[in-house]
Chain A
Amino acid sequence: MASYAGARPSGRFEVIAWLFMRVSGIVLLVMAMTHLVIMHYGITVNELSFDIVAQRWDGPFWRLYDFVLLGLALFHGANGARVVINDYVYSKGWRLLSTTLLVTASVVLMIIGAWVVITFDAARFAV
């Protein structure tokens, strides 16, 4: 369709994005599901507390796990939202604005999340 010409940047970036969605999707299937079952059904939300998180993040395994999960989930989700914007927002200005906001929000959330997972130190609050 002529009006769509140039609307979707085809080529290398889109191919990589397409492949990223599938590869990260497969990894997320395992990681997000495990996270959901452990944190929402093993430990329930009622039992969740600062001490539980401090315990979980005492060793490097769950910290690394949560860091990888954060990155994959956030960029999988952000790219999905980008595709949705491309599908529904036609005007060039609005598309640029909404995509810019999306990318900015994603990067800010990634920085916040990564900073918390990496630098969290429960001992700072020990009494």
Chain B
Amino acid sequence: MTGGRVTFREGLRYRGGLNMYAWALHRLTGLGVLAFLAVHIIETFFLTLGPDAYNAAISIYKSPFFKVAEIALTFAVLYHAVNGIRVTIQDFWPALWRYERAFIWASAAIFVLAFVPLAILSILPLLRGEY
């Protein structure tokens, strides 16, 4: 510690356990979704300029790059949702914090079950060359 501050490396070292990775990924995915939301609001604004302007704006999304970005967005939204609910449940019933590791693994399983089918749905048209 340097003067009570946590340096980046110390931050990474902090406990270093499963719960820290779950927390770090929660932050990262949250900021990612927020960044997309900002872009999404700006692109929606083009609706007010008419069909040509809006269709031109969203044509940027219709590319392989954004199809991959969409998978990342799905990952972020699903992870943030499942992990957020886990934290909320534990917050309202603090006795459950004892079972945090089990809860993290359970939420990871729910996340995988939800994410994998949607990721496949995104990858298939990409493989078929539709983007």
What residues of chain A have their CB less than 8 Å away from a CB belonging to chain B?
Answer: 1-4, 22, 25-26, 28-29, 32-33, 36-37, 40-41, 44-46, 48-51, 53, 70, 73-74, 77-78, 80-81, 84, 90, 105, 109, 112-113, 115-116, 119-120, 124-125
**Distance in Å from the Cβ of B6 to the closest Cβ of chain A?**
9
A49 / chain B contacts, CB cutoff of 8 Å: 51, 54-55, 58
**Distance in Å from the Cβ of A67 to the closest Cβ of chain B?**
12
CA distance A73 to B37 in the complex (A): 8
CA distance A3 to B6 in the complex (A): 11
From A25, A41, A45, A51, residue with most partner B Cβ within 10 Å: A45
From A40, A84, A90, A120, residue with most partner B Cβ within 10 Å: A40
Closest to B26 in A: A80
Main SS class of interface, B: helix
B91-131 Cβ-contact flags toward A at 8 Å (1 or 0): 11000000000000000000000000010011001000011
B91 / chain A contacts, CB cutoff of 8 Å: 22
B125 / chain A contacts, CB cutoff of 8 Å: 44, 46
**Distance in Å from the Cβ of A45 to the closest Cβ of chain B?**
5
Q: Does B31 contact A (CB under 8 A)?
A: yes
CA distance A86 to B14 in the complex (A): 18
Q: Does B81 contact A (CB under 8 A)?
A: yes
Interface size on B, residues (CB 8 A): 42
**Distance in Å from the Cβ of A80 to the closest Cβ of chain B?**
5
Q: Does B44 contact A (CB under 8 A)?
A: yes
A84 / chain B contacts, CB cutoff of 8 Å: 27, 31
B73 / chain A contacts, CB cutoff of 8 Å: 36, 40
B45 / chain A contacts, CB cutoff of 8 Å: 112-113, 116
Q: Which of A26, A28, A125 contacts B51 (CB 8 A)?
A: A125
Assuming A26-B88, A45-B67, A46-B62, is B41 touching A112 (CB within 8 A)?
yes
Contact A1 B38 (CB under 8 A): no
Assuming A50-B47, A74-B37, A77-B30, is B70 touching A45 (CB within 8 A)?
yes
Contacts A/B (CB < 8 Å), 30 sampled: A2-B4, A22-B88, A22-B92, A25-B88, A26-B85, A29-B85, A32-B81, A33-B78, A33-B81, A36-B77, A40-B70, A41-B122, A45-B58, A45-B61, A45-B62, A46-B125, A46-B131, A50-B51, A70-B41, A74-B37, A74-B41, A77-B30, A77-B33, A109-B38, A113-B44, A115-B48, A116-B44, A116-B45, A124-B50, A125-B51
